[in-house]
Homo-oligomer: A and B are copies of this chain.
Amino acid sequence: MSKQLVVLNTDAVACCEPLAQAALDVSQAESLAPMFKALGDPIRLRLLSMITSAEGGEACVCDMTPQFDVSGPTISHHLKVLREAGLIEGDRRGTWIWYRPMPAALGALAAVLAVSQPALV
């Protein structure tokens, strides 16, 4: 129940030039869109930002859940969406489950959005 994630991303991570330089083809768009869709919810965006900015590079579900007004299973569902989009990965360590970001996937999304000349920075 967690295999198809890999498939999606291997494509997408290796994917694309900035939008400003070349139009995406159909398959590139279909690889990238699910990742953007996963970011298209405020709860998931906050979860991802908590995970990405956490000290040590990973965050425990137990620390994140109390910061939201929704139920535990709902948080679990959103984490699963992020996981299946290839943006994060998690593993159990003893009692708790820890999530960390997948920098390559995030980097790919950022690269696609990059305004033409990042080199100038």
Chain A residues numbered 12-71 whose CB sits less than 8 Å from any CB in chain B: 19-24, 26, 29-30, 32-34, 36-46, 48-50, 52-53
A72 on the B face (CB < 8 A): no
A40 touches B46 (CB 8 A): no
Query: A106 on the interface (CB 8 Å rule)?
Result: yes
Report how many residues on chain A are interfacial, defined by Cβ distance under 8 Å.
Answer: 38
CA gap between A112 and B33 in the complex, in Å: 17
Residue ID in chain B nearest A113 by CB atoms: B110
CB of A6 to closest CB in B, whole Å: 20
Chain A residues with CB under 8 Å of chain B are 19-24, 26, 29-30, 32-34, 36-46, 48-50, 52-53, 101, 103, 106-107, 109-110, 113-115, 118
